Amino acid sequence: MLSQTLFFRLLRDIFDEIGIQFASYNDDIETAGQKVQTTYRGLRETSASAYLRPVFPERKDRLHILTRALATKVLINDNGTAYGVQYMRDGQDFTAIARKEVILSAGVFGTPHLLMLSGIGPKSELDLFNITTISDLAGVGSNLQDHLVVTSAIATNITRPKNTNMETEFIMNGQGNIAYDNMVVWARKNSGAESGTSMDQRANPYPEIFLFAFETELSNNTLGLAMVTILAHPRSTGKIRLQSTDPTVQPKIDPNYYSNEDDYRLHIAGIKESEKMVNTMALKNVGGRVVPDPTCIGKIYGSDEYYRCLINHKARFGWHACCTAKIGAGTDEFAVVNPQLQVYGVRNLRVADASVMPHITTANTQAPCYMIGEKASDEIKNTWRQ
């Protein structure tokens, strides 16, 4: 990996030229900085290693973790109260009974799937599968959102330095370049493109684009920059629907990407903005040049036609799907849970995962998911403390 000092000096110089401060991007959305990550001594920290493993030995009598199990249905009695969960394990069906309440954390796809199988969701959808509707909630499985990602390559004349100690330094001490993510994040308040959506009229509009920039090896030991341009708030939304009443059959996922023309317009403007970095002296001094994608040979590089081709062939989702059981007021026809994360129309049933987000964040969704878990924990304690 390219020396962290050299890599950051190059990027600092680039951002200085375009007038963007290189500091902590958590303090100002127009600031570029090193990507924040959950690591300890060079290793990835997860919710399991941070929340579960430290307390599990002393709470074995209260915390029971069952692996290789698939939840298949929330059990709800005649008065609309959730009282347990059915699940499958090793080909057998089991039932777990809740003394107080059921909390779903099955994720952006699993939670709406399980809710619909349990009779909670759009009645018109449930009727197609002869599922009795317990709570008619149009928002279950709707409002699916994700970040949309396109990567451009900027080549340089920099060659990979010889360093035979990187692996040893990491293995022995958890330190060195391998232990750190040399990725830089830059958020833009706007992409420079016009769009016809009300989101642009907000008093404090969301950034439309954010960028990841990191070192990449292109060919012949030559290094370059990967410029990952991310559409932060796509106007297009998708949905999740049932394919079967069999809980082992995955739901049908329709992401509906780029169905709103504004998404093309905004993303194209954002990619163009990120590729302008090649015009800085910092990159020119190291032979910086954009590498047109061979998929779109025949299109004029720099034209909207070229970038539309690039998006159609190379755009991918950001692994940040969310919002399919969103939080909202009872007057919102697409709200699924209330501010306490309780499911509308069913008692003693709560959701705590990315599906409750009303709209996607202008950042990765890992930290917001931790926050949702903390929020759910507080609400559960407040409910049963009374």
Degrees, nearest 5: CA angle 306-145-81: 165
**Residues belonging to the chain:** 386
267 is known as an active-site residue: no
SS3 87: strand
Catalytic-labelled residue, pool 147, 233, 320, 359:
320
Degrees, nearest 5: CA angle 231-206-309: 20
Residue 151: strand pairing partners = 228
Residue 5, token pair as written in the block: 């000092």
**Residue whose structure tokens are 């008093």:** 203
Q: Residue 32's closest CA among 198, 183, 225?
A: 183
Cα separation, 189 vs 184, in Å, equals 17
Residue 21: strand pairing partners = none
Neighbours of 344 (CB within 10 A): 18
Please give the positions annotated as active site. 320
